[in-house]
Amino acid sequence: MVIQSKVLVKTTLALGLMLSFSITASIPHTHAEENNVGWKDIAVGGRVSLGVKNDGSVWAWGETNRGGVFGNGEKGPSATNTKFPTQVKELNDVISIAAGSEHALAVKKDGTVWVWGDNLGGQVGDGMQTTLETGSGKMVTDNNRAVPHQVEGLTHVVSVWGAWGKSYAIKDDGTLWAWGGIYYKKPDGSTGTYTYPVQLRFQNVSSISTGFGDNLLVLDKDGTVWMLDRGAIVKIDGLSDITAIAAGGVNSYALQKDGSVWAFGSNGLGVIDGQNLATNKSAPQKIQGIQDIIDIRATAGGPLYLKKDGTVWASGNNHGGQLGIGSYDNSEVPVQVKDLMKITIIGAHGTGYRSLALREDGTLWSWGGGYSGDGTEWYRTEPVWIKSKDDEASPQTKLISVRLDGTLLSFEQQPTIINGSTLVPLRKIFETFGTHVTWDAGTSTITATKGSNILTLVVGNTTGTLNGKSISLDAPPTIINGSTLVPVRFIAESLGTKVDWVPETHTVNILTK
């Protein structure tokens, strides 16, 4: 696709300089705003998974759509299930997603909250509730929502979380709100279901997590961890400088700023590495054999770790195959999930046995119990690729990364290796260096200007010019999937930077300092 454009933008590079760049071109490329290939966010619930595509649309899949959790307008016993991601209706501009057992939540850019799916606990937040006939489980009143519904009176929200029959939201002022079957005392002293949001007695909240039961973990912005245990607010002693929390089926986990992980029972006590903490009332214990962690989640079976090097690890009960090791064998020590590298986001929920991961290139991977989203009903003991589009090309086996002074660069079209040279999208790399670019469609000629340097390249030609002098390229500029790719080493070094290639990780390091 060829798009006429003239853009004037300012960007700050990693070295701290403010540069201006201007692009006046018809250079073949794919606009990110128009690109519906790839994913940018994920969330996991008990029986449902969610994904946000690069075009901003929200998609859902799982074991059942009986409660309307796919958000496509269908619900009840006759609701279909394609076993592939299904688009949620009437949702756009989403910045955060979450899922409970069979309901889902989303936050829009305007800070409003939207919920759909099962409403047995009043978790949809519309003032109504689905009821069942006592004993038989037969539905008497169906107030489930098959399309997203806005929760009235709830604004300035930055993130949400779902649990069994419960919904939670964190506002930008750090307050925590909840609705559904939460265990929280009403003004009259009773406890029960709230069908509208109520503010809980927490302030300065950074994030929350829930697992089985009524347990609620709360991470304060000061790095301390608290819980709501049967209506009482309790601080977890022995935890400080915590950056992330995850509640599992039996145990809960806290990630410390130094990359270490600490485990404790979901109610402050529990079982860790075969040791019954409910008996000895031990404080949180550091998990051995794992370090350099940058994020954690937890399934009902145990923790899921994302390491600094982009690998994913897991441990615990492997009931759903969520350890991702190709079997259902349990492991008390952390083991590496197979074939996952360069992961940026992980997803899991303390009430289910499925895990998700997003790779640097926006590809989505799913494994564990239930329907993974690849069209099958089978549990997956190893990660499988979940397409974002029917005709999406298969992902690269060895993903190429490009980092500018340590900061990862994202591309609409992934870099590739041709004849031993690494090629990257021209538009992104030139924008990064604050370069003025023009395109001559008649001759397929690219002219890049930065200061006194003028670089001219021709698509398909290994010969170009730099300041009027002929130069040879290791590989010619190439058009792939509508994007023009150029050899990164030659371009970067021509613009006065140093380029380093790390073969072990397929990483290009561009150094300006």
User: What pLDDT sits at residue 426?
Assistant: 80
Quick check: 277 pLDDT over 50? no
Residues 98 and 26 in one domain: no
Residues 26 and 124 in one domain: no
67: region left, alpha or beta (phi > 0 left; psi from -120 to 50 alpha): alpha
Which of 180, 200, 220 lies at the terminal end of a domain, its last residue? 200
Residue-wise burial string across 261-277, b where 16 or more C-beta atoms lie within 10 A, e elsewhere: bbbbbbbbbbebeeeeb
User: What pLDDT sits at residue 172?
Assistant: 97
Helical ranges in 281-400 per DSSP H: none
Sign of the CA dihedral with 405 first, then 476, 484, and 7 last? positive
User: What pLDDT sits at residue 345?
Assistant: 97
Domain assignment present for 225: no
**Once rounded to an integer, what is the mean pLDDT over residues 26-50?**
70
**pLDDT of 374-405, one tens digit each?**
999 989 999 999 999 988 888 888 888 888 88
Instruction: State what percent of residues in the chain have pLDDT above 70.
Output: 86
First to last CA, the chain: 36
Specify burial of residue 57 (Cβ count, 10 A radius: 0-12, 13-18, 19+). Answer: middle
Sign of the CA dihedral with 339 first, then 375, 297, and 56 last? positive
Domain assignment present for 212: no
Specify burial of residue 71 (Cβ count, 10 A radius: 0-12, 13-18, 19+). Answer: buried
Instruction: State what percent of residues in the chain have pLDDT above 90.
Output: 55
Quick check: 347 pLDDT over 50? yes
Q: What are the structure tokens assigned to 513, written together? A: 């300092």
The amino acid that residue 32 corresponds to is A
Domain assignment present for 409: yes
Specify burial of residue 217 (Cβ count, 10 A radius: 0-12, 13-18, 19+). Answer: buried
Residues 177 and 66 in one domain: yes
User: Which residue's entry shows tokens 């041709």?
Assistant: 418
Question: Which residues partner with 496 through β-bridges?
Answer: none
DSSP 8-state assignment for residue 337: P
Helix (H, G, I), strand (E, B) or coil at 374: coil
Q: How far apart are CA 244 and CA 304, in angstroms?
A: 12
Question: Which residues partner with 7 through β-bridges?
Answer: 23
Domain assignment present for 234: no
Q: How far apart are CA 275 and CA 381, in angstroms?
A: 27
Domain assignment present for 221: no
**pLDDT of 161-198, one tens digit each?**
999 899 999 999 999 999 998 766 656 666 667 889 99
CA torsion 117-121-123-129 (nearest 10°) is: 80
Q: Which range marks the domain in which residue 498 is found?
A: 5-34+398-511
Mean pLDDT of the chain, nearest integer: 85
Helix (H, G, I), strand (E, B) or coil at 82: coil
Strands 145-150 and 113-117: antiparallel
Q: Per-residue DSSP letters for 98-134?
A: EE-SSEEEEEETTS-EEEEE--TTSTT-SS---EE-T
Q: How far apart are CA 240 and CA 267, in angstroms?
A: 18
Domain CATH number, residue 486: 3.30.457.10
Quick check: 35 pLDDT over 90? no
**Once rounded to an integer, what is the mean pLDDT over residues 74-81?**
94
Q: How far apart are CA 397 and CA 411, in angstroms?
A: 17
User: What pLDDT sits at residue 287?
Assistant: 94
Residues 45 and 194 in one domain: yes
User: What pLDDT sits at residue 162?
Assistant: 95
Residues 25 and 168 in one domain: no
Which of 137, 171, 200 lies at the terminal end of a domain, its last residue? 200
Q: How many domains does the chain have?
A: 2
**pLDDT of 412-422, one tens digit each?**
788 888 888 88
Helical ranges in 241-340 per DSSP H: 277-280
**Once rounded to an integer, what is the mean pLDDT over residues 309-329?**
96
Residues 12 and 109 in one domain: no
Q: Report yes or no: 149 and 141 within 8 Å, Cβ to Cβ.
A: no
Specify burial of residue 378 (Cβ count, 10 A radius: 0-12, 13-18, 19+). Answer: exposed
Domain assignment present for 56: yes
Long-range contacts of 443-446, Cβ-Cβ distance < 8 Å, separation of 24 or more: 446/27, 446/477, 446/484, 446/486
Residues 85 and 13 in one domain: no
Specify burial of residue 139 (Cβ count, 10 A radius: 0-12, 13-18, 19+). Answer: middle
User: Which residue's entry shows tokens 């350099």?
Assistant: 292
**pLDDT of 131-147, one tens digit each?**
877 666 677 889 999 99
Domain assignment present for 155: yes
Residues 43 and 26 in one domain: no
20 pLDDT tier (thresholds 50, 70, 90): very low
Residues 16 and 136 in one domain: no
SS3 annotation, 414-467: CCEEECCEEEEEHHHHHHHCCCEEEEECCCCEEEEEECCEEEEEECCCCEEEEC
Residues 82 and 162 in one domain: yes
Query: Which among 448, 486, 460 is positioned nearest to 24, based on CA atoms?
Result: 448
Is pLDDT larger for residue 106 or for residue 428?
Answer: 106
Which of 200, 225, 253 lies at the terminal end of a domain, its last residue? 200
**Once rounded to an integer, what is the mean pLDDT over residues 229-251?**
88
Quick check: 354 pLDDT over 50? yes
Phi (first) and psi of residue 461, to 5 degrees: -120, 130
489 pLDDT tier (thresholds 50, 70, 90): confident
Domain assignment present for 121: yes
**pLDDT of 227-236, one tens digit each?**
876 667 889 9
Residues 23 and 61 in one domain: no
Lowest mean pLDDT among 7-16, 91-100, 369-378, 408-417: 7-16
Residues 171 and 78 in one domain: yes
